[in-house]
Structure 1
Amino acid sequence: MAASSIRPSLGCFSSSSPRFPVSYLSRNLSRTLHVPQSQLFGLNSHKLLRRSVNCLGVAESGKAAQASTATSQDDLLSFVKNDKRRMLHVVYRVGDLDRTIKFYTECLGMKLLRKRDIPEEKYTNAFLGYGPEDSHFVIELTYNYGVDKYDVGAGFGHFGIAVDDVAKTVELVKAKGGKVSREPGPVKGGKTVIAFIEDPDGYKFELLERGPTPEPLCQVMLRVGDLDRAIKFYEKAFGMELLRTRDNPEYKYTIAMMGYGPEDKFPVLELTYNYGVTEYDKGNAYAQIAIGTDDVYKTAEAIKLFGGKITREPGPLPGISTKITACLDPDGWKSVRDWCVEIDHIGQH
Protein backbone atom coordinates (compact mmCIF):
# COMPACT_ATOMS: atom_id res chain seq x y z
CA MET A 1 0.00 0.00 0.00
CA ALA A 2 1.34 3.45 -0.87
CA ALA A 3 2.22 5.74 2.00
CA SER A 4 -0.21 8.44 0.85
CA SER A 5 -3.15 6.06 1.21
CA ILE A 6 -2.51 5.36 4.92
CA ARG A 7 -4.78 7.38 7.17
CA PRO A 8 -4.44 6.17 10.80
CA SER A 9 -7.06 7.47 13.25
CA LEU A 10 -6.33 8.98 16.64
CA GLY A 11 -8.48 6.31 18.21
CA CYS A 12 -5.78 3.74 17.72
CA PHE A 13 -3.51 5.79 19.99
CA SER A 14 -5.92 6.16 22.95
CA SER A 15 -4.66 5.78 26.51
CA SER A 16 -6.29 2.36 26.70
CA SER A 17 -4.26 1.07 23.80
CA PRO A 18 -1.62 -1.36 25.07
CA ARG A 19 0.57 -0.63 22.00
CA PHE A 20 0.75 3.16 22.29
CA PRO A 21 0.17 4.55 25.85
CA VAL A 22 0.03 8.34 26.22
CA SER A 23 3.46 8.54 27.83
CA TYR A 24 5.04 6.70 24.89
CA LEU A 25 3.10 8.79 22.41
CA SER A 26 3.96 12.14 23.98
CA ARG A 27 7.67 11.36 24.21
CA ASN A 28 7.90 10.24 20.60
CA LEU A 29 5.72 13.05 19.22
CA SER A 30 7.89 15.53 21.08
CA ARG A 31 11.01 14.13 19.42
CA THR A 32 9.34 13.94 16.01
CA LEU A 33 7.98 17.51 16.05
CA HIS A 34 10.91 19.06 17.92
CA VAL A 35 8.64 20.78 20.49
CA PRO A 36 8.52 20.57 24.31
CA GLN A 37 6.49 17.65 25.54
CA SER A 38 4.26 19.98 27.60
CA GLN A 39 3.00 21.74 24.45
CA LEU A 40 1.43 18.54 23.20
CA PHE A 41 -1.45 19.00 25.64
CA GLY A 42 -2.22 22.64 24.87
CA LEU A 43 -4.87 24.10 22.58
CA ASN A 44 -3.12 22.83 19.41
CA SER A 45 -2.54 19.31 20.67
CA HIS A 46 -5.04 17.72 18.29
CA LYS A 47 -3.39 19.33 15.28
CA LEU A 48 0.02 18.22 16.47
CA LEU A 49 -1.24 14.72 17.12
CA ARG A 50 -2.84 14.46 13.70
CA ARG A 51 0.30 15.78 12.05
CA SER A 52 2.55 13.41 13.98
CA VAL A 53 0.34 10.37 13.44
CA ASN A 54 0.51 10.98 9.71
CA CYS A 55 4.32 11.26 9.92
CA LEU A 56 4.53 8.02 11.88
CA GLY A 57 2.19 6.33 9.44
CA VAL A 58 4.29 7.38 6.47
CA ALA A 59 7.49 6.24 8.19
CA GLU A 60 6.01 2.86 9.13
CA SER A 61 4.60 2.31 5.64
CA GLY A 62 7.99 3.25 4.15
CA LYS A 63 9.69 0.65 6.32
CA ALA A 64 7.07 -1.92 5.33
CA ALA A 65 7.55 -1.15 1.65
CA GLN A 66 11.33 -1.50 2.00
CA ALA A 67 10.91 -4.80 3.84
CA SER A 68 8.48 -6.02 1.17
CA THR A 69 10.89 -5.04 -1.62
CA ALA A 70 13.80 -6.76 0.14
CA THR A 71 11.72 -9.89 0.65
CA SER A 72 10.63 -9.82 -2.98
CA GLN A 73 14.23 -9.48 -4.15
CA ASP A 74 15.35 -12.31 -1.88
CA ASP A 75 12.52 -14.55 -3.10
CA LEU A 76 13.27 -13.84 -6.76
CA LEU A 77 17.00 -14.34 -6.30
CA SER A 78 16.29 -17.67 -4.62
CA PHE A 79 13.93 -18.67 -7.44
CA VAL A 80 16.43 -17.72 -10.14
CA LYS A 81 19.21 -19.60 -8.37
CA ASN A 82 17.16 -22.79 -8.01
CA ASP A 83 15.26 -22.63 -11.31
CA LYS A 84 16.10 -25.50 -13.68
CA ARG A 85 17.28 -23.51 -16.66
CA ARG A 86 19.12 -24.35 -19.83
CA MET A 87 19.76 -22.72 -23.18
CA LEU A 88 17.25 -24.24 -25.61
CA HIS A 89 17.85 -22.70 -29.02
CA VAL A 90 19.16 -19.64 -30.80
CA VAL A 91 16.98 -18.00 -33.46
CA TYR A 92 18.06 -16.07 -36.54
CA ARG A 93 16.93 -15.26 -40.06
CA VAL A 94 18.35 -16.50 -43.36
CA GLY A 95 17.71 -15.62 -46.97
CA ASP A 96 17.72 -19.13 -48.48
CA LEU A 97 16.68 -21.89 -46.09
CA ASP A 98 17.66 -24.88 -48.24
CA ARG A 99 21.09 -23.38 -48.98
CA THR A 100 21.78 -22.82 -45.28
CA ILE A 101 20.56 -26.30 -44.29
CA LYS A 102 22.87 -27.81 -46.92
CA PHE A 103 25.86 -25.83 -45.60
CA TYR A 104 25.25 -26.72 -41.96
CA THR A 105 24.67 -30.42 -42.56
CA GLU A 106 27.48 -30.97 -45.09
CA CYS A 107 30.16 -28.65 -43.66
CA LEU A 108 29.41 -28.49 -39.93
CA GLY A 109 27.98 -31.97 -39.39
CA MET A 110 24.60 -30.84 -38.04
CA LYS A 111 21.39 -32.79 -38.46
CA LEU A 112 18.11 -31.40 -39.71
CA LEU A 113 15.85 -32.13 -36.73
CA ARG A 114 12.60 -30.83 -38.16
CA LYS A 115 11.18 -28.31 -40.58
CA ARG A 116 7.77 -26.73 -40.82
CA ASP A 117 6.05 -24.21 -43.02
CA ILE A 118 3.56 -21.61 -41.74
CA PRO A 119 1.97 -20.31 -44.96
CA GLU A 120 -0.67 -18.19 -43.21
CA GLU A 121 2.14 -16.16 -41.62
CA LYS A 122 4.47 -16.51 -44.60
CA TYR A 123 7.52 -18.05 -42.97
CA THR A 124 9.28 -21.42 -42.61
CA ASN A 125 11.30 -22.75 -39.68
CA ALA A 126 14.08 -25.33 -39.63
CA PHE A 127 15.69 -26.74 -36.47
CA LEU A 128 19.23 -28.06 -36.72
CA GLY A 129 21.73 -29.35 -34.20
CA TYR A 130 23.85 -32.19 -32.90
CA GLY A 131 21.18 -33.97 -30.87
CA PRO A 132 17.50 -33.94 -29.87
CA GLU A 133 15.92 -30.61 -28.93
CA ASP A 134 14.88 -31.85 -25.51
CA SER A 135 18.51 -32.36 -24.48
CA HIS A 136 20.67 -30.19 -26.76
CA PHE A 137 21.18 -26.54 -27.65
CA VAL A 138 19.98 -26.17 -31.26
CA ILE A 139 19.60 -23.62 -34.04
CA GLU A 140 16.22 -22.35 -35.21
CA LEU A 141 16.48 -20.86 -38.70
CA THR A 142 13.68 -18.65 -39.97
CA TYR A 143 12.98 -17.90 -43.61
CA ASN A 144 10.44 -15.15 -44.29
CA TYR A 145 8.79 -15.46 -47.70
CA GLY A 146 10.41 -13.22 -50.29
CA VAL A 147 13.21 -11.88 -48.06
CA ASP A 148 16.60 -13.03 -49.33
CA LYS A 149 18.99 -10.81 -47.39
CA TYR A 150 19.42 -9.45 -43.86
CA ASP A 151 21.80 -7.11 -42.08
CA VAL A 152 23.83 -9.06 -39.51
CA GLY A 153 24.91 -5.79 -37.83
CA ALA A 154 27.96 -5.03 -35.71
CA GLY A 155 26.64 -6.22 -32.34
CA PHE A 156 26.39 -9.92 -33.13
CA GLY A 157 29.75 -11.67 -32.92
CA HIS A 158 29.74 -15.37 -33.78
CA PHE A 159 28.57 -18.85 -32.94
CA GLY A 160 31.02 -21.41 -31.56
CA ILE A 161 31.28 -24.99 -32.83
CA ALA A 162 33.50 -27.57 -31.10
CA VAL A 163 35.08 -30.01 -33.58
CA ASP A 164 37.61 -32.83 -33.34
CA ASP A 165 39.90 -31.45 -36.07
CA VAL A 166 39.72 -27.77 -37.03
CA ALA A 167 42.03 -28.13 -40.07
CA LYS A 168 39.94 -30.92 -41.62
CA THR A 169 36.72 -28.98 -41.03
CA VAL A 170 38.19 -25.90 -42.70
CA GLU A 171 39.25 -27.96 -45.74
CA LEU A 172 35.71 -29.30 -46.03
CA VAL A 173 34.27 -25.79 -45.79
CA LYS A 174 36.57 -24.63 -48.57
CA ALA A 175 35.64 -27.61 -50.74
CA LYS A 176 31.96 -26.74 -50.38
CA GLY A 177 32.56 -23.13 -51.34
CA GLY A 178 32.42 -21.67 -47.84
CA LYS A 179 34.39 -18.64 -46.72
CA VAL A 180 37.31 -18.97 -44.28
CA SER A 181 38.12 -15.66 -42.57
CA ARG A 182 40.77 -17.01 -40.17
CA GLU A 183 42.93 -20.01 -40.97
CA PRO A 184 43.46 -22.72 -38.32
CA GLY A 185 45.96 -21.91 -35.61
CA PRO A 186 46.31 -21.39 -31.86
CA VAL A 187 44.31 -18.61 -30.26
CA LYS A 188 46.41 -15.55 -29.41
CA GLY A 189 47.89 -16.00 -25.96
CA GLY A 190 46.74 -19.62 -25.69
CA LYS A 191 47.02 -23.14 -27.09
CA THR A 192 43.48 -23.92 -28.31
CA VAL A 193 43.39 -24.31 -32.09
CA ILE A 194 40.66 -22.23 -33.71
CA ALA A 195 39.50 -20.97 -37.09
CA PHE A 196 36.74 -18.64 -38.29
CA ILE A 197 34.38 -19.32 -41.16
CA GLU A 198 31.25 -17.64 -42.53
CA ASP A 199 28.00 -19.22 -43.67
CA PRO A 200 26.20 -18.10 -46.86
CA ASP A 201 24.36 -15.31 -45.00
CA GLY A 202 27.50 -13.86 -43.41
CA TYR A 203 27.10 -15.33 -39.90
CA LYS A 204 30.51 -16.04 -38.39
CA PHE A 205 31.35 -19.39 -36.76
CA GLU A 206 34.36 -19.98 -34.55
CA LEU A 207 35.62 -23.54 -34.85
CA LEU A 208 37.27 -24.73 -31.61
CA GLU A 209 39.34 -27.90 -31.50
CA ARG A 210 38.14 -30.00 -28.56
CA GLY A 211 37.73 -33.60 -27.61
CA PRO A 212 34.31 -35.27 -27.51
CA THR A 213 31.68 -32.97 -25.99
CA PRO A 214 27.94 -33.35 -25.37
CA GLU A 215 27.33 -29.84 -26.80
CA PRO A 216 29.23 -29.15 -30.05
CA LEU A 217 27.13 -25.99 -30.56
CA CYS A 218 28.95 -24.35 -27.68
CA GLN A 219 28.91 -20.54 -27.91
CA VAL A 220 26.92 -17.46 -28.84
CA MET A 221 29.01 -14.28 -28.77
CA LEU A 222 27.32 -10.89 -28.40
CA ARG A 223 28.91 -7.48 -27.90
CA VAL A 224 27.79 -5.31 -24.98
CA GLY A 225 28.36 -1.70 -24.00
CA ASP A 226 28.84 -2.20 -20.25
CA LEU A 227 30.32 -5.55 -19.26
CA ASP A 228 29.80 -5.22 -15.50
CA ARG A 229 26.15 -4.30 -16.03
CA ALA A 230 25.64 -7.22 -18.42
CA ILE A 231 27.29 -9.71 -16.06
CA LYS A 232 25.13 -8.57 -13.16
CA PHE A 233 21.96 -8.82 -15.24
CA TYR A 234 22.69 -12.32 -16.56
CA GLU A 235 23.62 -13.53 -13.09
CA LYS A 236 20.61 -12.11 -11.25
CA ALA A 237 17.86 -12.17 -13.88
CA PHE A 238 18.95 -15.18 -15.95
CA GLY A 239 20.61 -17.23 -13.22
CA MET A 240 23.79 -17.73 -15.22
CA GLU A 241 27.17 -18.31 -13.63
CA LEU A 242 30.18 -16.17 -14.50
CA LEU A 243 32.59 -18.89 -15.64
CA ARG A 244 35.59 -16.71 -16.43
CA THR A 245 36.70 -13.34 -17.74
CA ARG A 246 39.69 -12.40 -19.86
CA ASP A 247 41.02 -8.92 -20.52
CA ASN A 248 43.10 -8.26 -23.62
CA PRO A 249 44.48 -4.71 -23.33
CA GLU A 250 46.67 -5.16 -26.43
CA TYR A 251 43.55 -5.50 -28.58
CA LYS A 252 41.37 -3.38 -26.27
CA TYR A 253 38.60 -5.80 -25.38
CA THR A 254 37.38 -7.90 -22.45
CA ILE A 255 35.25 -11.04 -22.58
CA ALA A 256 33.07 -12.78 -20.01
CA MET A 257 31.90 -16.38 -20.39
CA MET A 258 28.52 -17.08 -18.78
CA GLY A 259 26.34 -20.15 -18.68
CA TYR A 260 24.66 -22.92 -16.71
CA GLY A 261 27.66 -25.21 -16.46
CA PRO A 262 31.26 -25.80 -17.61
CA GLU A 263 32.21 -24.69 -21.11
CA ASP A 264 33.20 -28.18 -22.21
CA LYS A 265 29.77 -29.60 -21.37
CA PHE A 266 27.26 -26.76 -21.77
CA PRO A 267 26.65 -23.96 -24.28
CA VAL A 268 27.79 -20.55 -23.06
CA LEU A 269 27.10 -16.92 -23.75
CA GLU A 270 30.29 -15.01 -24.58
CA LEU A 271 29.87 -11.31 -23.79
CA THR A 272 32.45 -9.01 -25.37
CA TYR A 273 33.20 -5.44 -24.38
CA ASN A 274 35.35 -3.35 -26.72
CA TYR A 275 37.03 -0.49 -24.92
CA GLY A 276 35.06 2.73 -25.23
CA VAL A 277 32.18 1.31 -27.33
CA THR A 278 28.84 1.62 -25.57
CA GLU A 279 26.33 0.92 -28.39
CA TYR A 280 26.12 -1.31 -31.44
CA ASP A 281 24.02 -1.57 -34.57
CA LYS A 282 22.22 -4.89 -34.12
CA GLY A 283 20.92 -5.22 -37.68
CA ASN A 284 17.83 -7.34 -38.37
CA ALA A 285 19.26 -10.84 -38.90
CA TYR A 286 20.01 -12.20 -35.42
CA ALA A 287 16.83 -12.68 -33.38
CA GLN A 288 17.13 -14.17 -29.89
CA ILE A 289 18.08 -16.97 -27.53
CA ALA A 290 15.41 -19.16 -25.92
CA ILE A 291 15.99 -20.41 -22.38
CA GLY A 292 13.95 -22.97 -20.45
CA THR A 293 12.49 -22.04 -17.06
CA ASP A 294 10.14 -23.59 -14.48
CA ASP A 295 8.02 -20.44 -14.19
CA VAL A 296 7.76 -17.70 -16.82
CA TYR A 297 5.80 -15.45 -14.46
CA LYS A 298 8.47 -15.31 -11.76
CA THR A 299 11.12 -15.09 -14.45
CA ALA A 300 9.45 -11.98 -15.88
CA GLU A 301 9.40 -10.39 -12.41
CA ALA A 302 13.11 -11.05 -11.98
CA ILE A 303 13.90 -9.61 -15.40
CA LYS A 304 12.02 -6.40 -14.57
CA LEU A 305 13.62 -6.14 -11.13
CA PHE A 306 17.18 -6.48 -12.40
CA GLY A 307 17.11 -4.08 -15.33
CA GLY A 308 15.54 -5.92 -18.26
CA LYS A 309 12.54 -4.91 -20.34
CA ILE A 310 9.61 -7.25 -20.93
CA THR A 311 8.47 -7.16 -24.57
CA ARG A 312 5.89 -9.93 -24.22
CA GLU A 313 4.09 -10.42 -20.94
CA PRO A 314 4.21 -13.99 -19.61
CA GLY A 315 1.41 -16.30 -20.70
CA PRO A 316 0.47 -19.25 -22.94
CA LEU A 317 0.86 -19.24 -26.69
CA PRO A 318 -2.47 -19.43 -28.56
CA GLY A 319 -3.69 -22.97 -29.03
CA ILE A 320 -0.87 -24.77 -27.18
CA SER A 321 0.21 -25.27 -23.59
CA THR A 322 3.64 -23.65 -23.94
CA LYS A 323 4.01 -20.51 -21.83
CA ILE A 324 6.56 -17.86 -22.74
CA THR A 325 7.77 -14.39 -21.90
CA ALA A 326 10.12 -12.27 -24.01
CA CYS A 327 12.54 -9.60 -22.87
CA LEU A 328 15.40 -7.31 -23.77
CA ASP A 329 18.58 -7.19 -21.73
CA PRO A 330 20.13 -3.79 -20.83
CA ASP A 331 21.93 -3.75 -24.20
CA GLY A 332 18.76 -4.50 -26.15
CA TRP A 333 19.51 -8.16 -26.92
CA LYS A 334 16.38 -10.26 -26.94
CA SER A 335 15.71 -13.47 -25.05
CA VAL A 336 12.65 -15.66 -24.74
CA ARG A 337 11.78 -17.82 -21.76
CA ASP A 338 9.91 -21.07 -22.51
CA TRP A 339 8.02 -23.03 -19.88
CA CYS A 340 7.48 -26.36 -21.56
CA VAL A 341 8.47 -29.97 -21.85
CA GLU A 342 8.03 -30.09 -25.61
CA ILE A 343 10.03 -27.47 -27.49
CA ASP A 344 7.77 -25.46 -29.71
CA HIS A 345 7.96 -22.34 -31.88
CA ILE A 346 8.29 -19.19 -29.81
CA GLY A 347 6.15 -16.96 -31.98
CA GLN A 348 8.90 -14.54 -33.09
CA HIS A 349 10.19 -14.54 -36.65
Structure 2
Amino acid sequence: MSLHELNTFAGVTATPDVATQGFVFNHTMLRVKDITASLDFYTRVLGFSLVEKRDFPEAEFSLYFLALVDKGQIPTDDAARNQWMKSIPGILELTHNHGTENDTAFTYHNGNTDPRGFGHICLSVPDVHVACERFESLGVPFQKRLADGRMNNLAFIKDPDGYWVEIIQPTPL
Protein backbone atom coordinates (compact mmCIF):
# COMPACT_ATOMS: atom_id res chain seq x y z
CA MET A 1 0.00 0.00 0.00
CA SER A 2 1.44 3.38 -0.98
CA LEU A 3 1.93 6.21 1.49
CA HIS A 4 -0.90 8.12 -0.24
CA GLU A 5 -3.23 5.13 0.18
CA LEU A 6 -2.22 4.84 3.83
CA ASN A 7 -2.94 8.53 4.40
CA THR A 8 -6.46 8.16 3.00
CA PHE A 9 -7.18 4.65 4.24
CA ALA A 10 -10.88 3.81 4.68
CA GLY A 11 -11.89 7.27 3.51
CA VAL A 12 -10.45 9.05 6.52
CA THR A 13 -7.51 11.37 6.65
CA ALA A 14 -4.69 9.76 8.54
CA THR A 15 -2.63 12.93 8.52
CA PRO A 16 -1.97 14.07 12.08
CA ASP A 17 -3.40 17.40 13.14
CA VAL A 18 -0.72 20.07 13.51
CA ALA A 19 -1.76 20.42 17.17
CA THR A 20 -0.31 16.95 17.81
CA GLN A 21 3.19 17.89 16.62
CA GLY A 22 5.61 17.06 19.41
CA PHE A 23 3.47 14.28 20.90
CA VAL A 24 5.54 11.20 21.86
CA PHE A 25 4.21 7.68 22.39
CA ASN A 26 5.97 7.37 25.71
CA HIS A 27 5.12 4.12 27.45
CA THR A 28 3.09 0.97 27.81
CA MET A 29 2.21 -0.48 31.22
CA LEU A 30 2.08 -4.17 32.09
CA ARG A 31 0.99 -5.54 35.44
CA VAL A 32 3.40 -8.20 36.68
CA LYS A 33 3.06 -10.82 39.41
CA ASP A 34 6.69 -11.32 40.43
CA ILE A 35 8.82 -8.20 39.97
CA THR A 36 12.08 -10.10 40.51
CA ALA A 37 11.33 -12.53 37.65
CA SER A 38 10.03 -9.72 35.43
CA LEU A 39 13.04 -7.45 35.99
CA ASP A 40 15.37 -10.36 35.26
CA PHE A 41 13.52 -11.11 32.01
CA TYR A 42 13.31 -7.53 30.75
CA THR A 43 16.87 -6.55 31.75
CA ARG A 44 19.02 -9.68 31.38
CA VAL A 45 17.07 -11.43 28.62
CA LEU A 46 15.83 -8.45 26.57
CA GLY A 47 18.42 -5.78 27.42
CA PHE A 48 16.25 -3.08 29.01
CA SER A 49 17.75 -0.73 31.60
CA LEU A 50 15.86 0.15 34.76
CA VAL A 51 15.39 3.93 34.53
CA GLU A 52 13.12 4.75 37.47
CA LYS A 53 11.35 3.10 40.41
CA ARG A 54 8.44 4.62 42.28
CA ASP A 55 6.96 3.11 45.42
CA PHE A 56 3.44 3.70 46.71
CA PRO A 57 3.45 1.84 50.06
CA GLU A 58 0.05 3.14 51.15
CA ALA A 59 -1.53 1.71 47.99
CA GLU A 60 0.74 -1.39 48.07
CA PHE A 61 2.21 -1.14 44.59
CA SER A 62 5.43 -0.09 42.86
CA LEU A 63 6.18 1.14 39.35
CA TYR A 64 9.32 0.21 37.44
CA PHE A 65 10.20 2.11 34.25
CA LEU A 66 12.53 0.44 31.74
CA ALA A 67 14.01 1.53 28.41
CA LEU A 68 16.21 0.05 25.73
CA VAL A 69 18.99 2.59 26.19
CA ASP A 70 22.63 2.53 27.15
CA LYS A 71 22.90 3.18 30.89
CA GLY A 72 25.25 6.09 30.08
CA GLN A 73 22.32 7.95 28.45
CA ILE A 74 20.29 7.96 31.67
CA PRO A 75 20.61 11.27 33.56
CA THR A 76 21.82 10.79 37.14
CA ASP A 77 19.95 13.80 38.54
CA ASP A 78 16.45 12.73 39.62
CA ALA A 79 14.62 15.73 38.11
CA ALA A 80 16.56 15.56 34.84
CA ARG A 81 16.02 11.79 34.62
CA ASN A 82 12.28 12.20 35.21
CA GLN A 83 12.00 14.83 32.47
CA TRP A 84 14.16 12.79 30.07
CA MET A 85 12.14 9.64 30.76
CA LYS A 86 8.89 11.45 29.92
CA SER A 87 10.27 12.73 26.62
CA ILE A 88 11.57 9.54 24.98
CA PRO A 89 9.56 6.87 23.16
CA GLY A 90 9.42 3.21 24.07
CA ILE A 91 9.34 3.12 27.87
CA LEU A 92 8.00 -0.05 29.46
CA GLU A 93 6.26 0.47 32.80
CA LEU A 94 5.95 -2.62 34.98
CA THR A 95 3.38 -2.32 37.77
CA HIS A 96 3.81 -4.68 40.69
CA ASN A 97 1.01 -5.04 43.23
CA HIS A 98 2.76 -6.07 46.43
CA GLY A 99 2.06 -9.63 47.57
CA THR A 100 0.94 -11.08 44.23
CA GLU A 101 4.23 -13.00 44.00
CA ASN A 102 3.23 -14.96 47.13
CA ASP A 103 -0.15 -16.11 45.79
CA THR A 104 0.35 -19.29 43.77
CA ALA A 105 -3.13 -19.03 42.23
CA PHE A 106 -2.73 -15.40 41.13
CA THR A 107 -2.31 -14.64 37.41
CA TYR A 108 -2.85 -11.73 35.05
CA HIS A 109 -4.79 -12.14 31.80
CA ASN A 110 -2.30 -11.91 28.93
CA GLY A 111 -4.91 -10.65 26.46
CA ASN A 112 -4.46 -13.57 24.07
CA THR A 113 -7.11 -15.88 25.46
CA ASP A 114 -10.83 -15.17 25.47
CA PRO A 115 -11.91 -12.51 25.92
CA ARG A 116 -9.13 -11.26 23.70
CA GLY A 117 -7.86 -7.74 24.15
CA PHE A 118 -4.22 -6.72 24.56
CA GLY A 119 -2.01 -8.66 22.15
CA HIS A 120 1.72 -8.11 22.56
CA ILE A 121 4.67 -5.77 22.64
CA CYS A 122 7.39 -5.97 19.99
CA LEU A 123 11.18 -5.70 19.94
CA SER A 124 13.28 -5.21 16.85
CA VAL A 125 16.64 -6.98 17.02
CA PRO A 126 19.63 -6.84 14.65
CA ASP A 127 19.46 -10.58 13.85
CA VAL A 128 16.27 -12.48 14.69
CA HIS A 129 17.95 -15.89 14.25
CA VAL A 130 20.76 -15.06 16.70
CA ALA A 131 18.28 -13.57 19.18
CA CYS A 132 16.01 -16.62 19.02
CA GLU A 133 18.94 -19.00 19.48
CA ARG A 134 19.92 -17.03 22.59
CA PHE A 135 16.34 -17.09 23.93
CA GLU A 136 16.26 -20.84 23.34
CA SER A 137 19.55 -21.34 25.23
CA LEU A 138 18.20 -19.24 28.13
CA GLY A 139 15.08 -21.41 28.35
CA VAL A 140 12.70 -18.61 27.39
CA PRO A 141 9.29 -20.03 26.45
CA PHE A 142 8.19 -19.46 22.86
CA GLN A 143 4.66 -18.82 21.70
CA LYS A 144 5.82 -19.06 18.07
CA ARG A 145 9.24 -20.02 16.75
CA LEU A 146 10.61 -18.70 13.46
CA ALA A 147 9.90 -22.00 11.71
CA ASP A 148 6.29 -22.18 12.93
CA GLY A 149 3.48 -21.24 10.56
CA ARG A 150 3.67 -19.11 7.43
CA MET A 151 5.30 -16.01 8.93
CA ASN A 152 8.89 -17.26 9.17
CA ASN A 153 10.39 -13.80 9.69
CA LEU A 154 9.20 -13.29 13.27
CA ALA A 155 8.90 -15.09 16.57
CA PHE A 156 6.95 -14.64 19.77
CA ILE A 157 8.41 -15.33 23.20
CA LYS A 158 6.63 -15.12 26.57
CA ASP A 159 7.57 -13.11 29.63
CA PRO A 160 7.13 -14.54 33.16
CA ASP A 161 3.44 -13.47 33.20
CA GLY A 162 2.70 -15.00 29.81
CA TYR A 163 2.64 -11.69 27.92
CA TRP A 164 3.74 -12.16 24.33
CA VAL A 165 6.81 -10.35 23.00
CA GLU A 166 7.13 -10.29 19.21
CA ILE A 167 10.72 -10.47 17.93
CA ILE A 168 11.46 -8.99 14.50
CA GLN A 169 14.41 -7.58 12.60
CA PRO A 170 14.31 -4.44 10.45
CA THR A 171 16.06 -5.94 7.45
CA PRO A 172 14.77 -8.81 5.29
CA LEU A 173 15.82 -12.30 6.39
| TM-score with structure 2 setting the length | 0.67
SS of equivalent to 1:142: strand
Deviation at 1:120, TM superposition (A): 1.5
Spell out, residue by residue over 1:98-146, the C-alpha distance to the aligned partner (whole angstroms, 9 max, x if none): 1111111111111111222221111011111113622231100000012
Provide the aligned C-alpha RMSD in A.
Answer: 2.4
- After superposition, the Cα gap between the structure-2 partners of 1:186 and 1:81, relative to the gap in structure 1 and judged at 3 Å, is farther
Match of 2:45 in 1: 107
* Correspondent of 1:182 among 125, 129, 144: 144
**What is the rounded CA distance, in whole Å, between the counterparts of 1:163 and 1:123 in structure 2?**
32
Matched, 1:82 2:35: no
Name segments (4+ residues, structure 1) moved above 4 Å.
none
Deviation at 1:183, TM superposition (A): 1.4
Structure 1: state its 5+ residue gaps.
1-78, 212-349
**What is the rounded CA distance, in whole Å, between the counterparts of 2:18 and 2:148 in structure 1?**
36
- 1:186–1:193 contact (8 Å) kept in structure 2: no
- After superposition, the Cα gap between the structure-2 partners of 1:141 and 1:110, relative to the gap in structure 1 and judged at 3 Å, is same
- 1:187–1:193 contact (8 Å) kept in structure 2: no
Match of 1:121, as an amino acid?
A: A
Match of 2:32 in 1: 94
Match of 2:158, as an amino acid?
A: E
- 1:130–1:136 contact (8 Å) kept in structure 2: no
**What is the rounded CA distance, in whole Å, between the counterparts of 1:129 and 1:187 in structure 2?**
31
SS of equivalent to 1:171: helix
Spell out, residue by residue over 1:281-300, the C-alpha distance to the aligned partner (whole angstroms, 9 max, x if none): xxxxxxxxxxxxxxxxxxxx
Match of 1:157 in 2: 119
Structure 2: state its 5+ residue gaps.
1-15, 75-84, 102-106
**What is the rounded CA distance, in whole Å, between the counterparts of 1:166 and 1:194 in structure 2?**
7
Matched, 1:147 2:100: yes
Match of 1:120 in 2: 58
- 2:60–2:97 contact (8 Å) kept in structure 1: yes
SS of equivalent to 2:123: strand
Deviation at 1:185, TM superposition (A): 4.7
Spell out, residue by residue over 1:138-173, the C-alpha distance to the aligned partner (whole angstroms, 9 max, x if none): 100000012242122321111110001112212222
Matched, 1:203 2:163: yes
**What is the rounded CA distance, in whole Å, between the counterparts of 1:128 and 1:180 in structure 2?**
22
Larger radius of gyration: 1
Spell out, residue by residue over 1:235-275, the C-alpha distance to the aligned partner (whole angstroms, 9 max, x if none): xxxxxxxxxxxxxxxxxxxxxxxxxxxxxxxxxxxxxxxxx
